[in-house]
Structure 1
Amino acid sequence: MSDAKQSAEDLAILEQLNLDYIHSDETSDAKRFSEFLAEDFITQTPGVTRNRDEYLEYIAKPRPLKDIVLHDVKIRILGDVALIHGRVTYTMIADGVEQEALYTDVYQKREGNWLCVAACAIAPGA
């Protein structure tokens, strides 16, 4: 397979994983997350670092936000690592206030599959 074809295929996979990540976050779908988070996954949000199990437990609880919209997504494939940078807007359920967050997710291709190994978000209220 040519590098261009592989890159296009990888890009399509990563685009879908990004959509799945956002949708699973909004809908508390810990099961879907468990399918693409690496065993050594780490996530950071302001003041909190969670490992995979801690994050799955956290995400399984009802989310305090709704109506997540993606903006400014940029995917960079760097060999067997990919960085996904983006911005989201969302509405807080408690008070209806719209907020925005920036995020960077790190994926690594392991045994032919892209897995999320790290995530970092600057996300008030999330």
Structure 2
Amino acid sequence: MRNDLDQLTALNRDYVAAVQNRDVERFDEILAPEFYCSNPDKTLVDRAAFLQQTARPIAIRNLHEHDVVIRIMGDFAIIHAATSYTTADGQQATGRYTDCWAKLNGRWLAVSAHVSR
């Protein structure tokens, strides 16, 4: 399980960095084909729409995850975490996310995300 925990810890960091850096290529590698995301604006987007929204400029900067809790249940894992970031007008803000991961053919892939701000 330690190896899985290490992998998921690194993938979680990659996921947050990919959001901040608009890294569509990294998301293309780590999102399952059936991925869906519940956005802070209450929209639900599939993988293709998520990749499109990732490519667009974002208004936040200095995005960091903290208070990360990773729960592994066999070939399924849930990551809960808090975020801190700076808004476009320079204000400090916080949020939360929950990501679900499945181990498919020996690889952890994100299958679902829920983001709140």
Place the TM-score, normalised by the shorter chain, in its bin.
over 0.9
Q: Distance in 1 between matches of 2:102 and 2:65?
A: 22
Superimposed CA distance per residue, residues 98-122 of structure 1 (whole angstroms, 9 cap, x where no aligned partner): 1111110000000000000000011
Work out which of the two has the higher radius of gyration on C-alpha atoms and give 1 or 2: 1
The alignment status of 1:64 with 2:59, answered yes or no, reads yes
Q: Distance in 2 between matches of 1:37 and 1:74?
A: 20
Q: Distance in 2 between matches of 1:36 and 1:69?
A: 19
The answer for the alignment partner of 2:78 in structure 1 is 83
TM-score (normalised: structure 1):
0.90
The answer for the alignment partner of 1:3 in structure 2 is none
Count of paired positions: 116
What's the C-alpha RMSD, in Å, of the aligned pairs?
0.7
TM-score (normalised: structure 2):
0.96
Identity score, percent:
37
The answer for the alignment partner of 2:26 in structure 1 is 32
Q: Which runs of 4+ in 1 moved over 4 A?
A: none
Q: Distance in 1 between matches of 2:64 and 2:106?
A: 30
What are structure 1's unaligned runs of at least 5 residues? 1-6
